[in-house]
Amino acid sequence: MRRILLVVVAGALLSLGILPASAQSELDRARTDLADAEAAIVELQAEADAATAAFHQAESELGQIELDIDLLTTEVAAIEADVAVLETELSKMAIQQYTGVAAAGDLEEISRPDINESAVAGFLVDYATGTSTDVLDDFRAATALLENRRSALADAQQAQELTLGELTTAQDTVYASLEGVQAERDRIESVVSGLEAAERARIEAEMAAAAAAAAAATSVAPAPTTAPDAGPVPTDAAGEPADPPDAGGPQPTPAPPPPAPAPASVGPFVCPVAGPTSFVDTWGAPRGNGRTHQGVDMMAASGTPVVNPVSGVVEHRGNSLGGESFHLYGSNGNYYYGTHLSAYGAAGSLSAGTVVGYVGSTGNATTPHLHFEIHPGGQGNAVNPYPTVAQYC
């Protein structure tokens, strides 16, 4: 809307014909500022969108890494328990072989003159029957597996640290780019406001000049002269003034009334984030506990207003997963859901575009954004909202 207004104002200035040098210079500067700001917005939005895609990619990878770490941690603990049992068993066997005491409590071997000879003899017997070698092989295999899983766990933890760094970098880039978008929007607003002020000043100056000219013309106008006597006024039989004779020829046709202004165009949907935002299609992306993503995550600065996209009844209810949330039962029969709000706005029966909350990171969110869902026909029928928000945001 502000862009259209700027075009109107610039068009009005151009309609003046040859502008004074100062006005022409101002208009040229405004055009340059506008073009620079629009180009900057395109570039910054592209940077934000690319960083948003990288953020969600890192987020998905991090989720898988965290799952791997949980599984490896559990596996390592189980293997460590197995190794501890085998170590205890080997220790008992070593003591039995060294002392010559059988597992069944046979103490006769202790009476042998050389206790070491008894231990060696007993170990050779166990070796021949496979008793010691089985336990020893199990211990060696468990120890090797434990070392392997511990190494895999260390690798996963290192990957987790690196991915967290990528996530943080992408997140910082998203919000820095969105801040830049807002700054360029403010720049365009300033340009438009300046042109509006210049146009108002021009109109006021023209009106003042016209009024002064009219006043001057009135003060020097000659006094009206007496019209010559046109003779007696014709009368009819009743003595009333007669109608003037028909002059003949076509009579003037009254001008048609001006056409009624066309009603303002009202779209069927309003972008739910009323400010700079960045988002990509993450429908169906994996989430924790076997869940998949059932909405679109619209990255925006914390505190950015959130509005209801269609008219309907808005309710505020929070939950542990999403945090502060709004529920919109649309007049069109659809259900809309937005969550991770930092604070609530209006509720009840509202027209589209009313502020119902503010972007935040409540619930299980790690960064400010609006998780937004669309359910055609009512709650429980979620569809991918990305195409809709991509069209209107």
For the chain, which domains are there? 22-190 (1.10.287.620), 288-392 (2.70.70.10)
Whether 260 has a pLDDT exceeding 50, the answer reads: no
CA 317/CA 335 separation, integer angstroms = 14
pLDDT at 199: 81
Chain-centre distance for alpha carbon 16: 44
CA 361/CA 11 separation, integer angstroms = 44
Residue of 167, 373, 392 lying closest to 284 (CA atoms): 373
Structure tokens at 332: 């069109």
DSSP H or E stretch at residue 51: helix 21-99
Lowest model confidence (mean pLDDT) among 93-107, 137-151, 167-181, 256-270: 256-270
Prediction pTM value:
0.65
Beta pairing partners, 325: 339
Whether 247 has a pLDDT exceeding 70, the answer reads: no
Whether 370 has a pLDDT exceeding 80, the answer reads: yes
